[in-house]
Chains A and B, each alone.
Chain A
Amino acid sequence: MNRLLSGDSPKSIVLSVLLVAILIALAFAPFLFPGSRSLETAARICIFIVLVASYDLLLGYGGIVSFAHTMFFGIGAYGVAITIDRLGTGYGALTLGALIGLAVSGVIALLIALLSLRVRAIFFAMITLAIASAVAVLVSQLSGFTGGEDGMNIRIPRELTPANRLGEVMGTRITGKTLNYYLVFGGSLLLFLLMLRIVNSPFGRVLQAIRENAFRAEAIGYRVVYYRALATCLSAMVAALAGSLFAIWLRYVGPATTLGMEIMLDILLMVVIGGMGTMYGAVVGTAIFVLAQNYLKELMGGLSEATASVPVLPELLSPDRWLLWLGVLFILSVYFFPTGIVGRLRGTR
């Protein structure tokens, strides 16, 4: 167990319980929460945990601010979509697409890193913003290649679609969709454990040292640029794999679902709410955020009806105001847990 977690135990009983609960909920989601909407939510949580954790690798461990993370996510997704579009449906094309996304992300990340990491951190952030915007425009313009604003539908192998009926287990119908979910779940779990391994390796320690004091890290013999460049590449490549999983799960890819600035902001919020530089923060932050995004509206609808007899409250709790309350939740969480939920639970400053 310790080896699996790379020696990085949660170090808090509440956090351990929370993490085990999330793990069990995700592992048995098709049986615990039947219904396509809850399965959508569970898959989204799995994929975003990986995406957010890979961003945490960069921001929380490396101290590098990037706005291009969704771009790498998109490259992974489009890699699968375009490859299948060109080569036809098949596991080979699926794997090849994911590998192409992985390679392209790695190369672009390396170029950005080597071009801009030598200078100030703010320059890197600006460059990533510029490149991400350029790529988003490019994707929406090159409609012959990427499907433009409409995006692309992806024809994945039939075994992974709802049309593939496999029978029933404990009253839950098992279809290709269930298999597809477990592909997402298994892939996400592996990628998360991989990142946990990386942040607890000697390399991960150097990243934290650089975040603390880059001048010092250089002076004791670490070539800061190379470490930051490698962190940027790793983070981009994991994001691309998360994007590939997302494309396979949704069977669709479009600019709004993968490349949008809103997603970039969501990722930032999830990292901060969960706790930067903790990895487990990605799990907790993503679970809470995605659940709130998907169910806050219903919850508020219920509350609004329940308080129908009270004067102002139903107005305030109207489902239309869910975004306002999400904002309030975010501000409160940052105010009360400046080190994130995980930082708070672990009792660090």
Chain B
Amino acid sequence: MPSPSLVTRDLTVRFGGHVAVDQVSCAFTPGELTAIVGPNGAGKTTYFNLISGQIRATSGRVELMGRDITRLPVAARTEAGLGRAFQLTNLFPRLTVLENVRLVVQARERRGFNLWTMAMGHRDLIAEAQAVLERVRLTHLADQTVSALSHGDQRKLEVAAMIALKPRVFMFDEPTAGMSVEEAPVILDLIAMIKSDPEATVLLVEHKMDVIRSLADRIIVLHNGALVADGKPAEVMASDVVQEAYLGKELSDV
């Protein structure tokens, strides 16, 4: 068993009197895809925000590759090896597809403070961005402005940006949300490809059970901010606590 790449210890955040994430302790290891499930409002996205730094924890710790990153700002966590794709599409809308990926490669290579050379002169960055677009089959759209892309292609571009970032830990927040039935499998194939790298740790917030079944090695369940179940997909889905907390709630929503 490889040592964990990402660990949260008693991670807690309070908004006033409301405890959104409640003492969640969990370790994630390379080569494993963990699905994080739970009813709406269970704290899944908040848990993600605590890990990637958009929200600061009230108490508890986040450790990446053994290093305490609880107090680091967002960009520093990204530099440390965390990659996050967001629930709502989050790109540079008026820049081209290629530039969106090139900027990620440039960030990873830490060349942003280069004032004197021409950006177009950094051929290696452009070549790598093009290679990533090739892998996700977006090459034909490279020179398009992002805002002109379909929703599905924009989500694909976000995954491309994640691939270009080469993080140790990949975090996907409902990557197929709002996508058509035809478009979703492309994204799932890309995530499966990322997962096939034994070095990669993947966290996935997802609602769709078929997606979880096909991709997840492990499921953790959040309910009212607390971790209530953790284990192999088959075990977790069969357990009473999940039936009650998650599926029961979902049914009553309908």
Contact flag A213-B93 (CB < 8 Å), given A7-B118, A205-B119, A219-B84: yes
Interface size on A, residues (CB 8 A): 29
The answer, yes or no, to whether A262 is at the interface (CB within 8 Å) is no
Tell whether, in the assembled complex, residue B111 and residue A202 are in contact, meaning their CB atoms are under 8 Å apart: yes
Tell whether, in the assembled complex, residue A213 and residue B91 are in contact, meaning their CB atoms are under 8 Å apart: yes
B residues less than 8 Å from A327 (CB atoms): none
Tell whether, in the assembled complex, residue A203 and residue B75 are in contact, meaning their CB atoms are under 8 Å apart: no
Which chain A residue lies CB-closest to B162?
A: A220
The answer, yes or no, to whether B15 is at the interface (CB within 8 Å) is no
Contact flag A219-B117 (CB < 8 Å), given A202-B106, A205-B106: no
A residues less than 8 Å from B161 (CB atoms): 220
A residues less than 8 Å from B94 (CB atoms): 212
Contact of B115 among A198, A217, A218 (CB under 8 A): A198
Contact of B78 among A6, A205, A221, A226 (CB under 8 A): A221
Bitwise, B143-181 to A at CB < 8 A (1) or not (0) is 000000000000000000100010000000000000000
Contact of B119 among A200, A213, A216 (CB under 8 A): A200
Contact of A212 among B52, B76, B92 (CB under 8 A): B92
Tell whether, in the assembled complex, residue A221 and residue B92 are in contact, meaning their CB atoms are under 8 Å apart: no
Tell whether, in the assembled complex, residue B113 and residue A203 are in contact, meaning their CB atoms are under 8 Å apart: yes
Tell whether, in the assembled complex, residue B118 and residue A206 are in contact, meaning their CB atoms are under 8 Å apart: no
The answer, yes or no, to whether A230 is at the interface (CB within 8 Å) is yes
Tell whether, in the assembled complex, residue A227 and residue B112 are in contact, meaning their CB atoms are under 8 Å apart: yes
Tell whether, in the assembled complex, residue A222 and residue B112 are in contact, meaning their CB atoms are under 8 Å apart: yes
Tell whether, in the assembled complex, residue B95 and residue A201 are in contact, meaning their CB atoms are under 8 Å apart: no
In whole angstroms, how far apart are the Cα atoms of A210 and B166 in the complex?
Answer: 21
Tell whether, in the assembled complex, residue A221 and residue B107 are in contact, meaning their CB atoms are under 8 Å apart: yes
Which residues of B, 77-107, contact A by the 8 Å Cβ criterion?
78-79, 84, 86, 90-95, 99, 102-104, 106-107
Task: Determine how close the nearest CB of chain A comes to the CB of B158; give it in whole angstroms.
Answer: 10
Tell whether, in the assembled complex, residue A215 and residue B75 are in contact, meaning their CB atoms are under 8 Å apart: no
Bitwise, A223-244 to B at CB < 8 A (1) or not (0) is 1101100100010000000000
Task: Determine how close the nearest CB of chain B comes to the CB of A193; give it in whole angstroms.
Answer: 12
The answer, yes or no, to whether A304 is at the interface (CB within 8 Å) is no
B residues less than 8 Å from A221 (CB atoms): 75, 78-79, 107-108, 165
Q: Which of B103, B114, B121 has the most CB of A within 10 A?
A: B103
Contact of B95 among A6, A200, A209, A222 (CB under 8 A): A209
The answer, yes or no, to whether B74 is at the interface (CB within 8 Å) is yes
Contact flag A202-B90 (CB < 8 Å), given A220-B103, A221-B79: no
The answer, yes or no, to whether B213 is at the interface (CB within 8 Å) is no
Known: A220-B78, A221-B78. 8 other contacts (CB 8 A): A197-B116, A201-B116, A202-B112, A209-B95, A213-B90, A218-B73, A219-B52, A227-B112
B residues less than 8 Å from A226 (CB atoms): 113
In whole angstroms, how far apart are the Cα atoms of A7 and B103 in the complex?
Answer: 18
Contact of B76 among A7, A200, A204, A223 (CB under 8 A): A223
